[in-house]
Structure 1
Amino acid sequence: MTFAHRVRVVDSHTAGEPTRVVVGGFPELAGGTLAEQEADLLANHADLVRLLVGEPRGHAPWHAVLPLAPLHAGADLSVLIVSALGSLTMCGHALIGTVTTLLETERIPAREPVTGVVVETLSGLVRAEARVDGGKVRSVTFRGVPSWVAVTGLEVEVGGQAFEVDIGFGGIWFALVRVEQTGVPIAVESVPGLVALSHRIRLEVNRTLRERSGWPPGTPERVDQLLYVGPPTSAGAHGQNLATSTGLGFDRSPCGTGCCARMAWHFERGEMAVGDTFVHESVLNTIFTGTIKAETEVDGHRAIIPTITGSAYLTGFNELVLDTDDPLGPGLFLPAAGG
């Protein structure tokens, strides 16, 4: 057998959403900063990104993480996060999965009862604390980047129906939509319709962002993900989230960055304050717990410093290979939501 690539990975899921951590076989990236290493990854190793998260070795929800030697003086490690959307500046579930994986496989020394880990992401430094008991990581709490709402009350029309959309940041940008506007709840059986509708809503949002001017400072040029926010369905939860995108389909977890954006949204609406906690529920009824730790400011907007707590579970130790005769090559991405 002749293989062009052999990459060793450890797989996990965080509240249902999968993460794949690279632990061997990946070439060293060039660059003295994380941004420079990201540029090298995308320019010279795009085939390996497809190998890690594309079909047939992966599927739409997969996120892969490349742990790197720390490039920031204050970090314990640096990471690049990739998915069908390309390189991500930050991903909450992947961060929880990565910290859990590296501690439970002893690639980072674990200290009980709490191990602190500082991770450099493309969004900046993220401080995480893992609660460890008997060598098992019970949960990971990370301190999110400043999260805030750039645009409120944006109206778009899809299929003759008006939708009110807000645009918020929690490490990545989201279009936030109250799910009640769709007439269906966040539930497994509703997912195909909600994902397809979210694609159409985002197309209109991005068209409006392009065509209008005079947006508030810091408004993004486009948003790649939509977050449906809805009421809880499980005892103890405060609300339910469904994050969607064309490339990824839908998030099985409550979505860590989406949780940060949602709490910023509630803060903007006067529904949460510093010190408040919000229990976020996923479409699978799994849970992340978020807390607003402090208030700050971004581009003249009120913003929050959030924390998110969740749990991850290892699911496999794998070696991904590329047969030189494989007609699909390193892999491919199929859109998860039309178009």
Structure 2
Amino acid sequence: MEVPGLQLPPHDGSVLAAVDMHTGGEPLRILLAGLPEVRGQSLLEKRRFVRRQLDWVRRLLLLEPRGHRDMYGALLVPSECEQAHLGVLFMHNEGYSTMCGHAVLALARFAVDYGLVKEPQSPETQVNVHCPCGLVTAFVQYAAGRSGRARFLSVPAFAFATDVAVDVPGFGKTIVDIGYGGAFYAFVSADSFGLDVSSSKTRELVDAASAVTKAVSAQVKLHHPDSEDLAFLYGTILTDGKDAYSEEPTANICVFADAQVDRSPTGSGVTARIALQYHKGLIQLNQTRTFKSGTTDSLFTGKAVKETTCGDFKAVIVEVAGHAYYTGTSYFVVENEDALKNGFLLK
């Protein structure tokens, strides 16, 4: 479909092209063109370089006036991993993540549709996505030339600590679990704060989760066997407390980065939550659970598929599945005299 008269407006600065998608309501803006050279031998080195030298790209793409405080993005970069079909750096309102499940589900479909995978196969096409946390293998349903639902197998996921008491200012002593699913999350039942993940006001949920994140970050020292670049708390996930195995969906809401709210059930969060449930003996291998977003009611499924290790941690590989959809394509231009050209974020 051609739009009559559609052309780039006058500009004298950068031009960036992007494809927009969403997975379970959580947006993903994939940069197609306009990214300067990203230096570094490894993906983690590239992440450091972008954070130090090219952060204007993140701000321009994700923040207002072109985006909003809850926009999410992906930069496609060369990978040093021979098996990878693509390397990716994840972006949010505060900086750069190490893993993002909703983005991997979307990028897997994108890779099939945009030719990053040659000769897609039916009924599923394998897509190897190199994330900062490691290589993630995804599979995309493919039939009659159309891509569909995707699933991925996580990096080793593990319970870092359970039943940790933290002093949360404004809320008092709170018991949390900490799990890793490509990124570290704190988990706590929303009813610990008199809240419900599906019916309480989002602002109240955000305030409670943000307070937990701040408290855990200050009081608990995290570490990861592979790299200290991975050893930070990405956010807090409030749950409905239904961790024992059930065929009924269990709901959660993830608040990460700078009070950013995930609209999806959170793919890396599902991974970490499954790892915690398995560690506690609440689920078995290959028992599929359904996870519901407290904000959009969208659904992901997750299951632990095999045991493994990560350093000294007993870990599991988790399969997460969901469906990503396209929402559009965009060209973003910069006028150099625009004082707000690199974006801003309201507090």
TM-score when scaled to structure 2?
Answer: 0.88
1:85 corresponds to: 94
Aligned residue-pair number:
329
In structure 2, runs of 5+ residues without a counterpart are 1-9
CA displacement at 1:95 relative to structure 2: 1.0
Q: How does 1:1-339 map to 2 (within 5 A)?
A: 1-109=10-118, 110-158=120-168, 159-187=170-198, 189-209=200-220, 222-230=232-240, 237-283=248-294, 284-335=296-347
Quote the offset at 1:33 in angstroms: 2.1
Deviation of the 1:36 alpha carbon: 2.6
User: Could you tell me how far apart the structure 2 residues matched to 1:250 and 1:270 are?
Assistant: 29
Deviations 1:253-289 (A, max 9, x none): 0000000010011111110121221111112111111
Are the counterparts in 2 of residues 16 and 252 from structure 1 also a CA contact under 8 Å? yes
TM-score (norm 1): 0.90
The CA deviation at 1:231 is 5.3
Q: Is the 8 A contact 1:179 1:186 kept in 2?
A: yes
Question: Identical aligned pairs, as a percentage?
Answer: 28
CA contact (8 A) 2:79 2:86 kept: yes
Q: CA deviation at 1:199?
A: 1.2
Q: Deviations over 1:220-264 (max 9, x none)?
A: 8642300112157xx954311211025252110000000001001
Of 318-327 and 100-109, the range deviating more from structure 2: 100-109
Task: Indicate the RMSD between aligned Cα atoms, in angstroms.
Answer: 2.2
Q: Choose 246-255 or 288-297, whichever is displaced more.
A: 246-255
Counterpart CA distance in 2 for 1:208 and 1:37 is: 30
Unaligned runs of 5+ in 1: none
Residue identity opposite 1:323 in structure 2: E
| Contact kept? 1:89, 1:122, Cα under 8 Å | yes
Higher mean Cα deviation, 41-50 or 164-173? 41-50
- 1:105-139 per-position Cα deviation (integer Å, ceiling 9, x unaligned): 44434332211111111111110100023333221
Deviation, structure 1 residue 332: 2.2
SS at match of 1:11: strand
Deviation per residue, 1:307-337 (Å, 9 max, x gap): 10110000011011121121212112345xx
